[in-house]
Structure 1
Amino acid sequence: MKYLLQRIAFYLFTAWAAITINFFIPRLIPGDPVSSLINKYQGQISTEAIQSLYVLFGLDKNAGMWSQYVDYWQQIFRGDLGISFNFFPTPVSEILAQSLPWTIALVGVTTIVSFALGTGLGVIAGWRRGSWMDGLLPVTTFISSIPYFWLGLLAITVLAGADSFFPSSGGYEPGLVPSWDGEFIGSAIRHSLLPAFTILISSVSGWILSMRNMMVTVASEDYITVAHAKGLPERRVMVSYAARNALLPNVSGFALSLGFIVGGTLLVEIVFSYPGIGYNLFQAVGAKDYPLMQGVFLVITLSVLVANLLADIAYLLLDPRTRKEG
């Protein structure tokens, strides 16, 4: 319990630091962030409205820095992440609420499937080292070194086209309204196949390699020899003794992967113009939309911190030594 409380305290401090950095980002950028919005609507914003914009975006020069900082924390606790410049006057929280489900559905499902598939194959490959599966290791090593976006470009070139079943961009057919009807769901699934395929192929290889190497290391431990000497079934030794201990590093990596679900496949979403949070960040950078950039950064940071906390909890459950140290 002491260990867990220490980790929670650490993550709370890290979250505070991240939110504080997020607060200072637009205030440290050279120039005036609000001026980009004013220039966008040049001639349409009156002088009287300009001061209101500074107040609206929390950059009122008449208010002190501490007052702005306190107001920023109050906004976060209310779920108010500001107003987007590029999609003015749409709130950032509304934009993220629309894009997050797309990213979570695409990257979340593919991350879980690739982890389960890669870990399972890695357990078998490591336990039965020297078998035909070891011959596939150079292939998996090569594939795992290829970036997501490069596989995406190859997939579009080879599989997508005018008469192809696989669309090359977008999250659904133009003209459809997002809803839970069969036509829209079918279109969304079809548009997600190529991005999901590229993520799955690239990430599953890494899980196979890491789990295989850990299984080879664990298989030489004394407790595995003792388990064999007791006459325990081969499958039980492999799963309950070897795989459970070899899984610990992969659990940490899986938790981090869950954290990076939100922004880790930015380039994939850009390549496929997929309407996720990574594509939102790309649009925000291009339009100098500082509030949206802040919102995306905050969501990604908090997701990674929560994922790390879940990894620590998983360690507590899987490794008795951690509980004793706590």
Structure 2
Amino acid sequence: MTAVQPQPQPVQDALEVGTTATTVVRGRSRIPWRFLAGRAAFYLFTLWAAITINFFLPRMMKGDAVDQYLSRNRNVSPEAADALRTLLGLDTDRSLLQQYLDYVGLLLRGDLGVSLLHGLRPVTEVIGQALPWTVGLVGFATVISFTIGTIGGAVVGWRRGSRLDGLIPVTTFLGTIPYFWLGLLAIAVFSVNLGWFPIGKAYGVGMRPEWSAEFVGQVVHHGTLPAATIVIASLGGWMLGMRNMMLTVLDEDYVMVAQAKGMPNRRVLWRYAARNAVLPQIQSFALSIGFIVGGTIVMEMVFSYPGVGKLLLDATNAKDYALMQGVFLVITLSVLVANVLADVAYAFLDPRTRQTEA
């Protein structure tokens, strides 16, 4: 009887049979719900903590907005003063906990209160008028500084040991100069001596805000000098950080393998090295969003520029709780939103984060 010979089984590659790597590549990518839920819970808790601190911190200061107002206006009756405290949520007959609950309830309805410093105008209206100036000037300058510094740092790191390394100590030195001194020096040289730019303000005297070529030209002309000083003051940090990260990434194996395969240097630089080196820069940029919205108080004071930073300083001096809380809340929300966008950018640039679960 003839023995039945077993049919030879086709040889399969171990990678085709199914390994962890193959499963990840070929399988449908799962949405990391646990990770997203954890991040959402973290941001919600951070928002609640910021709102709570935002409420109690100004009330630890001595005096309030009504006391400051009464010191400037002696003819206000006690009844009117009590009515002002009730309107501003500073009624002494209600406990701090009751005031806090009232404050949260108003926030949920989008009511930030009224500003005594600005004639009982709604805080949202006051901030809404100052916010575009700060975002337009400081935001534009920060984005320009981040872009130039990141690209320049990547190129300097890629060509390490060349003459381009001389840019690092120069930009770092400019970044160590106190900003108010740099601003005053720029005004003395380019405004007073050369007369190229105005000394301050956001637009010329007699101009009214409107969408016209003349007004836009005035805004650009007045904003060029303060924007340039912001770029110069912050460029060194972005360039130095990106250059140091490039030096670390260039020693990684995948960069050397890409070069060994004969890939063009431009592709290795931007698709492999710079793409991974820029990740810490993105997180730093997200944190600088608070700087954008909060503005630089020193810059707005030196250049007499209207913005949120100057608004916050005036509100602090006047102990205008509602205005202070409104500005702090806008800064907090901007930082949280920026961090959410940074997480999205991380997931886009680094595929490993898309497979991470808490």
Report TM bin, short chain. Answer: over 0.9
* Structure 1 match to 2:81: 50
Query: Which TM-score applies when normalising by structure 2?
Result: 0.86
**Which residue identity lines up with residue 23 of structure 1 in the other structure?**
F
1:27 is the counterpart of 2:59:
yes
| Inter-partner Cα distance in structure 2 for 1:207 and 1:248 | 12
**Which residue identity lines up with residue 39 of structure 1 in the other structure?**
S
Report the number of matched residues: 325
| Inter-partner Cα distance in structure 2 for 1:314 and 1:300 | 21
Kindly, what percent of the aligned residue pairs are identical? 56
**Which residue identity lines up with residue 113 of structure 1 in the other structure?**
I
| Inter-partner Cα distance in structure 2 for 1:255 and 1:296 | 18
Contact preservation (8 Å) 2:134, 2:295: no
Moved more, 155-164 or 3-12: 155-164
Aligned-partner SS, 1:30: coil
* Structure 2 match to 1:109: 140
| Inter-partner Cα distance in structure 2 for 1:263 and 1:257 | 10
| Inter-partner Cα distance in structure 2 for 1:53 and 1:254 | 41
* Structure 2 match to 1:136: 167
* Structure 2 match to 1:7: 39
In the TM superposition, 1:26-175 aligns within 5 A as: 26-43=58-75, 45-161=76-192, 164-175=195-206
Root-mean-square deviation (Å): 1.7
* Structure 2 match to 1:189: 220
Q: CA deviation at 1:27?
A: 2.9
In the TM superposition, 1:203-222 aligns within 5 A as: 203-222=234-253
Moved more, 291-300 or 108-117: 291-300
| Inter-partner Cα distance in structure 2 for 1:257 and 1:64 | 37
| Inter-partner Cα distance in structure 2 for 1:180 and 1:250 | 35
2:345 to 311, 314, 324: 314
* Structure 2 match to 1:17: 49
- Evaluate the alpha carbon distance shift between residue 186 and residue 316 of structure 1 in structure 2; reply closer, same or farther with a 3 A threshold: same
Aligned-partner SS, 1:179: coil
1:290 to 318, 321, 325: 321
Query: Which TM-score applies when normalising by structure 1?
Result: 0.94
Q: CA deviation at 1:30?
A: 2.6
**Which residue identity lines up with residue 116 of structure 2 in the other structure?**
F
User: Gapped runs of 5+ residues in structure 2?
Assistant: 1-31
Q: CA deviation at 1:32?
A: 4.3
Contact preservation (8 Å) 2:63, 2:319: no
**Which residue identity lines up with residue 310 of structure 1 in the other structure?**
L
1:232 is the counterpart of 2:263:
yes
- State which structure, 1 or 2, has the greater radius of gyration over its C-alpha atoms: 2
**Which residue identity lines up with residue 262 of structure 1 in the other structure?**
V
- Evaluate the alpha carbon distance shift between residue 163 and residue 113 of structure 1 in structure 2; reply closer, same or farther with a 3 A threshold: closer
Aligned-partner SS, 1:74: helix
| Inter-partner Cα distance in structure 2 for 1:160 and 1:291 | 37
Contact preservation (8 Å) 1:260, 1:303: no
Contact preservation (8 Å) 1:19, 1:298: yes
Q: CA deviation at 1:63?
A: 2.8
Q: Could you report, residue by residue, the CA deviation over 1:30-52 in whole angstroms, capped at 9, with x for unpaired residues? A: 33442222332221x23322222
- Evaluate the alpha carbon distance shift between residue 268 and residue 212 of structure 1 in structure 2; reply closer, same or farther with a 3 A threshold: same
Q: Which ranges of 4 or more aligned residues in structure 1 deviate by more than 4 Å?
A: none
* Structure 1 match to 2:19: none
Q: CA deviation at 1:247?
A: 0.7
